[in-house]
């Protein structure tokens, strides 16, 4: 983002070699095809059963290959290909999440206690990065609101703060100087966190999340720029103060607390009016960006009366 202004445009199509290799695996009985997408065939990720959701879009889904090889996860480096290259070394089991702050039931929960398999839903969401590219991702997860309700927020709680793991020995981007101020932090207003579109995701494309996408548990807030969707969460704190957030701390004029997708409010260094579809090929036409990333009917009411140019 800040560090990589001139975003590299890669051709992220599936190559004939990928198709050949996957056909070989299919013949060997280890992989199959769902629709037009290549199914992940690592054999490592566990399959998740999830029910469909009325919140899903039926737009064309970005390929598994693009979703898992074109990533922002600065704990593993600044290049889009670094997370896939290095995130494999992150130990994601066992994993616990601290829920604390203004709640009546604080605690440290194993990820398996937070997300029960019977609750899982598939949510196919548009995902729009502040760098002006977008994807359509079939996430699996549960509403964040369910987890917050179980912790029972006290009357004064107004915000939710999130933190990612700090483990430099497994996250090379956290070593040395010149990176972000770790841990990666994000925050939401409590009503945004409780909104039914906001999920904690533990999977995509029918399997557990790959590490580069934020295993074992990440946030997904589809009407906000992608950097709000914090990965590999270890702490969720309820508070009465607006939390500090990583990119706002780094460049407050460029990245606000709200960061709702808004084609009318440009980033100081580039337009937000349109977006490039990842996997669309270099000659594909840019798409017009929609207010709240197309989720205005569901979420515009959260911001009634607010000046969205000031509260960017």
Minimum distance from CB of 23 to ligand MTE (Å)?
27
How many chain residues bind ligand MTE (CB under 6 A)?
16
Residue 42: phi, psi to the nearest 5?
A: -70, -25
- The number of C-alpha atoms within 13 Å of 43 and in the hemisphere containing its C-beta is 5
289 is an interface residue for ligand MTE by CB under 6 A: no
Position closest to ligand MTE via CB: 226
**Does 129 engage in binding with ligand MTE (CB under 6 A)?**
yes
Residues 146-185 contacting ligand MTE, CB under 6 A:
164, 184
Residue with tokens 């290959």: 65
Return d(Cα 121, Cα 52) in angstroms, integer.
Answer: 6
Find the shortest distance in angstroms from Cβ 232 to ligand MTE: 6
- Nearest Cα neighbor of 211 from 115, 74, 90, 97 is 90
Is residue 261 within the footprint of ligand MTE (CB under 6 A)?
no
Residue closer to ligand MTE, measured from CB, 102 or 198: 198
Q: To the nearest whole angstrom, how small is the minimum distance from the Cβ of residue 274 to ligand MTE?
A: 17
Can residue 213 be called a binding residue for ligand MTE (CB under 6 A)?
Answer: yes
Tell how far CA 281 is from the center of its chain. 23
71 binds ligand MTE (CB under 6 A): yes
**74 binding ligand MTE? (CB under 6 A):** yes
Q: Spell 170-203 as b/e; 16+ CB within 10 A means b.
A: bbbbbeeeebbebbbbbbbbbebbbbebbbbbbb
Return all residues near 105 (Cβ < 8 A) that are at least 6 apart.
Answer: 99, 150, 151, 152
Q: Which residues bind ligand MTE (CB under 6 A)?
A: 1, 71-75, 129, 164, 184, 213, 226-227, 229-232
């Amino acid at each position: 983002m800040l560090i990589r202004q001139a975003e590299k445009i890669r051709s992220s199509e599936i190559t004939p070699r990928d198709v050949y290799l996957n056909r070989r695996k299919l013949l060997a009985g280890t992989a199959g095809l769902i629709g037009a997408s290549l199914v992940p065939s690592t054999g490592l990720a566990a399959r998740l059963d999830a029910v469909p959701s009325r919140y899903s879009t039926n737009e064309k889904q970005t390929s598994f290959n693009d979703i898992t090889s074109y990533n922002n996860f600065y704990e593993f480096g600044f290049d889009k290909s670094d997370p896939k290259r290095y995130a494999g070394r992150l130990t994601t089991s066992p994993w616990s999440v601290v829920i604390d702050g203004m709640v009546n039931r604080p605690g440290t929960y194993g990820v398996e206690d937070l997300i029960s398999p019977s609750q899982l839903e598939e949510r196919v969401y548009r995902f729009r990065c502040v760098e002006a590219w977008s994807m359509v991702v079939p996430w699996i997860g549960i509403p964040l609101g369910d987890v917050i309700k179980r912790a029972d927020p006290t009357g004064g709680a107004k915000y939710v703060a999130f933190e990612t793991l700090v483990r430099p020995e497994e996250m090379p981007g956290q070593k040395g100087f010149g990176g972000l101020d770790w841990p990666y932090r994000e925050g939401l207003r409590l009503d945004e966190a409780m909104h039914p579109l906001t999920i904690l995701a533990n999977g995509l494309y029918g399997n557990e999340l790959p590490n580069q996408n934020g295993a074992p548990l990440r946030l997904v807030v589809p009407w906000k720029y992608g950097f709000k969707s914090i990965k590999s969460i270890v702490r969720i704190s309820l508070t009465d103060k607006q939390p500090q957030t990583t990119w706002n701390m780094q460049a407050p004029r460029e990245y606000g607390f709200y960061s709702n997708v808004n084609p009318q409010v440009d980033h100081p260094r580039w337009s937000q009016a349109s977006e490039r579809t990842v996997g669309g090929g270099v000659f594909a036409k840019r798409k017009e960006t929609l207010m709240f990333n197309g989720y205005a009917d569901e979420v515009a009411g959260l911001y009634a009366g607010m000046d969205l140019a000031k509260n960017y």
